[in-house]
Structure 1
Amino acid sequence: MTTSSRTLRSAIAALALLIPVAVAAAPATAAPRDPVVYDALGDSYGSGYGVPPYSATCGRSEAAYAVQIDGRMRIDLDDFAACAGATTTSMLASQMGALDADTDLVTVSIGGNDIGWGTVVGACVAAGDAPCAGALAATTGVITTALPAVLDATYAQIAAAAPDAHVVVTGYPRLFSPEYGAYLNASPAEQHGMNEGADLLNSVIADAAAEYGFQFVDVTSRFVGHGVNAPEPWVLGLSDPGRFHPNLDGYEAYAAAVTSQVNPRDLR
């Protein structure tokens, strides 16, 4: 046998010894992760009210941010329980059955109906200066004095019903863009007052959520320049049946806010 032949056979034998080692060292293919079990609670801002068609009850719409984020980040919408008109009391009575130990992700939009925010908007838009000022004063008082305890009790029940879930609490947008002038009877100054009321509402909700380690998602910045009186509004006007709720662009902004701020690593 020539020297070159012996060298070739030695190289082949060495390669044969290496192949099993390489195969054994190859990592096993990771099993696909389970879907994230997602339950959506809340009021009309959670149900997608404002963009028809709606479900037979609760004004649930396919435009709702819960429906839009279904399928993103392995999220699987399990129970879509949000209902137009819900208060903390009615939500606890009728929606909590959606949650259990298997729930991985919860979103909740609640609080606006508890303080009668619609009454304030109606007074400022349709009535005069005095009714607007009175409604604002009364409602901001409720936000600061009564709402914190109500939210605390509500979030405690959510935490107990879904102990392993990542809970996302969504806030409310400013409804007006005062820079574009009056909207019906609501002057720019009154619009500023209502926007400040929305900011106060959001801050109280955010503080209460933080006490339970819940994540607060603020949508305020996304709606800037898109109030009901803006050239490109993301809020429906007084003449629409879904008045002062987001339109499709508005709910897309909600979905974008949630998906951009929720870290997939927080979802078990």
Structure 2
Amino acid sequence: MRPVSVRRTVTALVSALALASTAASPAAGAPRTIELVNLGDSFSAAFGTGGLQQVEGVDSCDQGTGRDHVDELGSHPRVEVTLDAACAGYTAQEVEDLVSTKPVREALATADVVTLTMGGNDIGWAEFIGTCSAAAEAESGPAPCDALLAQAPARIAAASSSAAETADAIGTESDARIVVLGYPNLFDDRQDSPLISAGRAAQLNDWTDELNAALAAAVAEEGAVFVDVTDRFRGHGVGSADPWILFAPEAGAHNLHPTERGYLCGYFPGLLSQVARTR
């Protein structure tokens, strides 16, 4: 069950959307429905909320079953999620390949908003976290992590270039507002945690910021809008007193993704602000 404070926040924001939708409507008649298509990787696929479900008609496309920012927006009477084909583990290239399939092209043709996250799998954040974790450094020392961190700039450059191509492919199929959501800093870097030292956490958070900046610049060149969520998640990383990023031994692949509260309080306001601007 969501905390009451989350529900109040969501209710207030949805009211704002209702006002924006009404303002955007013709003088006569009811406000129109905004059609939304959701694509991208696990940060768009509700990973971190628990459960596992497959998207029908898309090969190897897994999503979490809990409530996220897309579900919350889709519950609004003036928003229809016409396609939710975000897939955990997808790279930007795999999202681009999905765009070329018939069901996705058809949904994009009438969409008003397309939302997605992409780029994290291109640079291989899971590899960085595994190599730079406290356990890995205790076993192998700092050299493997240092070597991998030295690759970050080149990986980020490649990821942002691929993201730009994906945004361009979406824009070719759709006149929709393309909203690319960024990634939160996963760790509280003010102190060591069982997962990672404060120093390594700070380095990985810095590279997340670099990735977000590169993605923002790249997709803007293709006419997409980038939404940075780092400020909303600040103070809620792994190791904080109130984490919005999941880390639990039993969570498996859901680890290091936003919790339901993270999606609703961190991602939802940013997405809503862009949908409310849609005309």
Letter in 2 for 1:191: A
1:174: Cα distance to partner?
A: 0.2
1:73: Cα distance to partner?
A: 7.8
TM-score, normalised relative to structure 1: 0.82
Asked which structure has the greater CA Rg, the reply is 1
Paired position in structure 1 for 2:16: none
Alignment match of 2:163 (pick from 135, 151, 155): 151
Alpha-carbon distance between aligned partners in 2 of 1:262 and 1:185, rounded to the nearest angstrom = 35
1:169 aligns with 2:180: yes
Tell me: higher relative CO, structure 1 or 2? Use CA pairs within 8 A at least 6 residues apart.
2
Letter in 2 for 1:50: G
Alpha-carbon distance between aligned partners in 2 of 1:184 and 1:52, rounded to the nearest angstrom = 22
Q: Is the 8 A contact 1:116 1:139 kept in 2?
A: no
Deviates most, 193-202 or 91-100: 91-100
1:94–1:31: structure 2 CA closer, same or farther, 3 Å change rule?
same
Q: Is the 8 A contact 1:70 1:76 kept in 2?
A: yes
1:236-247 paired onto structure 2 within 5 Å: 236-239=246-249, 240-241=251-252, 242-247=254-259
Alignment match of 2:129 (pick from 99, 121, 127): 121
Ranges of 4+ aligned residues in structure 1 off by more than 4 Å: none
Alignment match of 2:172 (pick from 160, 165, 168): 160
1:75–1:31: structure 2 CA closer, same or farther, 3 Å change rule?
same
Number of residue pairs the alignment of both structures matches: 236
1:11-36 per-position Cα deviation (integer Å, ceiling 9, x unaligned): xxxxxxxxxxxxxxxxx971113211
Paired position in structure 2 for 1:230: 240
Paired position in structure 2 for 1:9: none
Alignment match of 1:133 (pick from 121, 124, 146): 146
Alpha-carbon distance between aligned partners in 1 of 2:75 and 2:267, rounded to the nearest angstrom = 16
TM-score, normalised relative to structure 2: 0.79
Letter in 1 for 2:121: N
> RMSD of aligned C-alpha atoms?
1.9
Alignment match of 1:79 (pick from 79, 83, 91): 83
Letter in 1 for 2:136: A
Q: Percent identity?
A: 32
Paired position in structure 1 for 2:113: 105
1:69 aligns with 2:73: yes
Alpha-carbon distance between aligned partners in 2 of 1:65 and 1:105, rounded to the nearest angstrom = 14
| Structure 1 residue ranges without an equivalent (≥5) | 1-27
Deviates most, 223-232 or 86-95: 86-95
Paired position in structure 1 for 2:95: 91
1:247: Cα distance to partner?
A: 0.8
Alpha-carbon distance between aligned partners in 1 of 2:112 and 2:198, rounded to the nearest angstrom = 43
